Each structure stands twice: as C-alpha cells, then as structure tokens.
C-alpha cells in the first residue's frame, strides 16, 4: 500500500517562468505561477514544477566527480527533427555524437541534463 502519491517533479532554477516555458514548447501544456514557482501542466495530465533557487548551480555532466542529480527522458518520434527544435529553444548538446544510439543528451537553459529518446 502506497504511503504517498507523486504530485510533481520539481526542478530548481534561476527563472521558473522561463524554464517552464522552455519545457512547455517541448511538451505542450500550460504554465501557471509567479516569479518563485511555476507549474507546467502537460496535456497528458502530468505536472512538472519549477522553483526559484537563488545561486542555482547546474549539475556537472558527465564529470565523474559530480553527479547529474537527475534527468528527464523525453520520448520523440524523430530525433533529428526534435533536436533541431530544442536547440532553437535554447537547449545545449551534451552527448549527441553517437548517431547509432536511440537517445541523445542535452542541457536545458538552466543546465539540467535531459535526454531525447526515440519511440
């Protein structure tokens, strides 16, 4: 029997509205909130939240002495098309040089790693 129910995944960042907007462009949905907290409510009913964290330092990736903390896997039908779109939104490539893999690693504008994964 579960003791709790997952309400949301929350990402610390310097600008919650901007980062929520970045993910809304990728996942769809609506953004609600203020300068300290923003919720992205996706079309599938999932919520991703963004919390202002003064002095936020992005995780180091792939530095072996530091962990990536966590990452999001985002499933897409076409890696090349999705890559062009997320780069235009401000994502930065971290590990995209292996063309035969069905996933690629990027950083969002606040530096959090995330993966695009082929369906």
The mean pLDDT value for 54-67 works out to: 76
What are the tens digits of pLDDT across the range 70-90? 778 899 999 999 999 999 999
Q: Indicate the pairing of strand 30-33 with strand 37-41.
A: antiparallel
Q: Does the pLDDT value for residue 27 go beyond 70?
A: yes
Q: Reduce the DSSP state of residue 102 to 3 states and report it.
A: coil
**pTM confidence score:** 0.83
Structural domains present in the chain: 1-55 (3.30.720.120), 57-119 (3.10.180.10)
- Looking from the CA of 49 toward its CB, the CA atoms found within 13 Å total 12
Q: Please give the residue that has the higher pLDDT: either 38 or 95.
A: 38
pLDDT band at 2 (very low <50, low <70, confident <90, very high): confident
Distance CA 100, CA 16 (A): 35
**Percentage of the chain modeled with pLDDT above 90:** 62
The mean pLDDT value for 32-41 works out to: 96
Q: Give the residue from 48, 25, 46 showing the smallest Cα distance to 38.
A: 48
Strand order across the beta sheet in which 30-33 lies: 9-13, 47-52, 37-41, 30-33
What are the tens digits of pLDDT across the range 101-114? 898 999 999 999 89
- The pLDDT value given to residue 64: 67
């Amino acid at each position: 029997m579960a003791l709790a129910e997952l309400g949301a995944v929350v990402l610390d960042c310097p600008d919650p509205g901007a980062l929520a907007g970045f993910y809304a462009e990728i996942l769809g949905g609506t953004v609600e909130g203020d300068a300290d907290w923003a919720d992205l409510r996706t079309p599938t009913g999932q919520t991703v939240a963004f919390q202002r964290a003064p002095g936020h330092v992005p995780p180091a990736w792939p530095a072996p002495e530091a962990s990536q903390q966590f990452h999001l896997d985002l499933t897409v039908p076409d890696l090349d098309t999705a890559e062009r779109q997320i780069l235009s939104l401000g994502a930065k490539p971290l590990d995209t040089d292996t063309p035969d893999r069905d996933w690629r690693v990027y950083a969002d504008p606040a530096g959090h790693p995330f993966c695009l994964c082929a369906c």
